[in-house]
Amino acid sequence: MVPLAIARQTVREAMRRRVMWVFLICGVFLIALGPVFGFLSPRDSQTVLRSLGLAAILLAGLFITIVTCIYLIPTEIERRTIYTVLSKPVQRYEFVLGKFLGGFATVFINIAAMGVVFLVMIYFQEHKIPPEMFKGVLMTFFQMFLLAALTIFFSTFATPVVNFFLSFGIFLVGNLSSVTESLTTNHNPIVRFAGDTIHYLLPNFGNFNIQNSIIHPVTEIANENIFIRNNIVYALIYSAVLLTLAILIFDRREV
């Protein structure tokens, strides 16, 4: 399939970016710092290792996703290699899908690598791997899946610099779901309208942080498995909408 061929080439190019390796190494280094806190009580050390590991995967995954995906389409246009690609029997939607799959595959490889290191560290300290740690890594994975789709969407019409700030800004706002949700009940109709727009229109990245009680202090999860399933479905549907819009925009763009 054409998208898969484009995706493979995209992965090879992305894996050669030095900045991506910098973020990956930094993430692994932060995870490896967990045992340094072994001088704390066993319970505190366990909490620090879990929190630090998941935070490192999230932060490194965030920057790897954005830095990787913001250049995928603009670089092809700037180098004019897109003309060579589109001169072949390649449809524009196949090009966009191929770039998304390649960018996401690159992100997946990096998160999987950090996840393995994190789970190994957990095992050596606790002599077991709690299921919630798998779930924490899984939620970060789908959080980055949604972010990759958002970044690809912006890359069809925005420059890499603008895309970076748009994607990063929306990610930050999307993680404040508890704050934006509180605006939807405000007595001021203007504030309530703004709250509704932000809360329901922007991607709700905050729901994926189920492992962080600080970010989600008021969330009560009755059935964690159903909650995780719903978030995965949400990420897939929202990403499909973003990719559809990206294809429509790119199909009408003159390159």
What whole-number distance in Å separates Cα of residue 25 and Cα of residue 30?
Answer: 9
- pTM for this predicted structure: 0.86
pLDDT tens, position by position, 69-121: 999 999 888 888 887 877 788 888 889 999 999 999 999 999 999 999 998 88
In tens, the pLDDT along 30-68 reads 888 776 665 555 556 677 778 888 888 999 999 999 999
- The domain total for the chain is 1
Range(s) of the domain holding residue 203: 2-251
Higher pLDDT: 83 or 163? It is: 163
What mean pLDDT do residues 150-169 have? 93
| Chain mean position to CA 206 | 12
Q: Which residue has the tokens 């001088």?
A: 39
Q: Which amino acid is at 128?
A: K
Average confidence score pLDDT of the chain? 82
pLDDT in tens, 121-140: 888 877 888 888 888 899 99
Res 252 pLDDT > 60:
yes
Instruction: Name, in order, each residue with C-beta under 8 angstroms of 219's C-beta and a sequence gap of 6 or more.
Output: 178, 210
Q: What is the pLDDT of residue 86?
A: 76
CB 119 within 8 A of CB 134: yes
Q: Where are the alpha helices (DSSP H) in the chain?
A: 2-14, 18-32, 42-69, 72-78, 81-86, 92-126, 131-155, 160-174, 177-183, 189-201, 224-251
Where is pLDDT greater, at 186 or 108? 108
Average pLDDT over residues 158-165: 93
